[in-house]
Structure 1
Amino acid sequence: MTWVIILGIAGAVFAIMASVLRMPRAGWEITGAALLFGIAGYALQGHPDMPGAPKAAVENQKVADAELIKQRQQMGAQFGKGQSWLIVSDALTRAGQYRAAADFLGRAVQDNPRDADLWVALGNALIGHSEGMISPAAQFAFRRAAQIDPNHPGPPFFMGLALAQSGKLNEARDMWVGLLRRAPADAPYRPDLVARLARLDQIIAMSNGGTVPEATPSATTPQPLPKAAPTR
């Protein structure tokens, strides 16, 4: 019955083209041959009995690690001027709409160019949009945040995370070790950072044939934080 339906549709298409659309008689043979060629191709390659397997677009996938949003919130000001922007962008990020979040935050930093939290969130959205890979735009966003607030832990943490996901393990480790050395002992993000560094050391050791990097300064006394850049 399937082939009867297919042939019937092909015949109906040919009839419409010949009578309704008034296709020239000289093109009948070519058109008929094209329809038959398409049917033959489907007969060879088509699998109508196979179940469908639709795949959601990257932009619509859920965030793989929702804890990163919580981590960024712990690292930034909870009630800064850009908080209303962050609420909307976080909702878009949780829904996997990284491009929309990046566009939204792009307008946010234009209105609030001295808000380090917004620049960090923009860098994260750009990384999500590029499927975890570090991009020049994301690097610029993190560096801008670090210039505004050198004490902000977000830029080195998320920059290091993006470097690790991009395969630049040693660069990521150097960035995280530097952040850990100057992190306050009671910083809420410190335990997570120590755990991530430990996992990163294991990966680096395996790739180096068992050579373990220098000791992670998990118990190191935090060093004084640099002075914040003066606001204009």
Structure 2
Amino acid sequence: MSWLIVIALAALAFAATVFLFKLEKALWSSLLAALAVGLAGYSLQASPGLPSAPKAQGVNRAAPLFDVVEVRRELLASNERSRADFIVTADALVREGRYQPAAQLLASVTRDNPEDFEAWIAEGSALVEHADGILTVPALYAYRQAAELKPKHLAPNYFLGVALIRQGRMLEARQVWGDSLAAAGEDAPGRAIVAQQLERLDAMLAAVSQMEEGAPPPTAVAPDPSGP
């Protein structure tokens, strides 16, 4: 039900802006893109069933949209985990919103051991969060280094896709996730997670397409927000 409300509000916001505020038709696509980014973010990260909680005090930066540490671990098999002691400290820093020192620690890990697959992914995520969700050149480099170590692994491209979505580059993210799933084995770690998120992204792209055509968004393809 919450999904229907969110999509309805997005459609209402579009209609109100266009008809009440007389938005020029040339700007409709920009407005749709902005609404689509919000819908995609809600689709991929929202947990409407969780109770509210007071804002934590003493945190220097905003918390990430989702627990990047926990998701990273879910996407890795136990034998793919980093053996570096610093990664535990870096994860704690990330959860405190201290992304720059976390990225610096992780950079020292990958500098000492360029074969540390998990450290490269963690470094890329810390850099993205430090840049407020922007996929910077160093973050992209970190994800690519991880992908070179394990070309068929889902984790590097999963986080790359999330970063692309946060910048409104949803079609690129869809391509990245689709290609990764096609290359990964059926028993690849995290396959169910990436497949579900790709399904949600496809639902959002379908909803945006319907909005652009002026038709009501399809409710049948809306993802279940209570799922993992």
Normalised to the residue count of structure 1, the TM-score between the two structures is 0.60
What residue is the counterpart of 2:104 in the other structure? 103
SS of 1:209's equivalent in the other structure is helix
Flag structure 2 segments of 5+ consecutive residues without an equivalent: 1-54, 218-228
Query: Could you report, residue by residue, the CA deviation over 1:146-195 in whole angstroms, capped at 9, with x for unpaired residues?
Result: 12221332211111111111111011001101111233323341222122
For residues 55 and 91 of structure 1, the distance between their equivalents in structure 2, rounded to whole angstroms, comes to: 15
For residues 196 and 81 of structure 1, the distance between their equivalents in structure 2, rounded to whole angstroms, comes to: 25
For residues 164 and 126 of structure 1, the distance between their equivalents in structure 2, rounded to whole angstroms, comes to: 16
For residues 193 and 81 of structure 1, the distance between their equivalents in structure 2, rounded to whole angstroms, comes to: 21
For residues 57 and 74 of structure 1, the distance between their equivalents in structure 2, rounded to whole angstroms, comes to: 28
Count of residue pairs the alignment pairs up: 158
What residue is the counterpart of 1:125 in the other structure? 126
Shift in alpha-carbon separation, 1:141–1:209, aligned structure 2, 3 A: same
Query: Could you report, residue by residue, the CA deviation over 1:32-52 in whole angstroms, capped at 9, with x for unpaired residues?
Result: xxxxxxxxxxxxxxxxxxxxx
Q: Is the 8 A contact 1:132 1:166 kept in 2?
A: yes
Shift in alpha-carbon separation, 1:82–1:72, aligned structure 2, 3 A: same
For residues 77 and 86 of structure 2, the distance between their equivalents in structure 1, rounded to whole angstroms, comes to: 13
Shift in alpha-carbon separation, 1:101–1:179, aligned structure 2, 3 A: same
SS of 2:185's equivalent in the other structure is coil
What residue is the counterpart of 2:3 in the other structure? none
Query: Could you report, residue by residue, the CA deviation over 1:99-146 in whole angstroms, capped at 9, with x for unpaired residues?
Result: 111111111111111212111111000011111121111111111111
1:172 aligns to 2:173 (yes or no): yes
SS of 1:62's equivalent in the other structure is coil
What residue is the counterpart of 1:75 in the other structure? 75
For residues 100 and 78 of structure 2, the distance between their equivalents in structure 1, rounded to whole angstroms, comes to: 24
Shift in alpha-carbon separation, 1:188–1:154, aligned structure 2, 3 A: closer
Does 1 or 2 have the higher relative contact order (CA < 8 Å, sep 6+)?
2
For residues 99 and 61 of structure 2, the distance between their equivalents in structure 1, rounded to whole angstroms, comes to: 9
What residue is the counterpart of 1:42 in the other structure? none
What residue is the counterpart of 2:155 in the other structure? 154
Deviation at 1:91, TM superposition (A): 0.9
What residue is the counterpart of 1:209 in the other structure? 210
Flag structure 1 segments of 5+ consecutive residues without an equivalent: 1-53, 213-232
Shift in alpha-carbon separation, 1:57–1:175, aligned structure 2, 3 A: farther
**What letter matches 1:86 in structure 2?**
I
For residues 82 and 70 of structure 2, the distance between their equivalents in structure 1, rounded to whole angstroms, comes to: 18
What residue is the counterpart of 1:186 in the other structure? 187
Task: Report the aligned-residue RMSD.
Answer: 2.6
Deviation at 1:74, TM superposition (A): 3.0
What residue is the counterpart of 2:65 in the other structure? 64
What residue is the counterpart of 1:86 in the other structure? 87
Deviation at 1:60, TM superposition (A): 3.6
SS of 2:121's equivalent in the other structure is helix
For residues 77 and 189 of structure 2, the distance between their equivalents in structure 1, rounded to whole angstroms, comes to: 13
Q: Is the 8 A contact 1:82 1:112 kept in 2?
A: no
What residue is the counterpart of 1:140 in the other structure? 141
Q: Is the 8 A contact 1:59 1:99 kept in 2?
A: no
Identity across aligned pairs (percent)?
32
For residues 57 and 177 of structure 1, the distance between their equivalents in structure 2, rounded to whole angstroms, comes to: 40
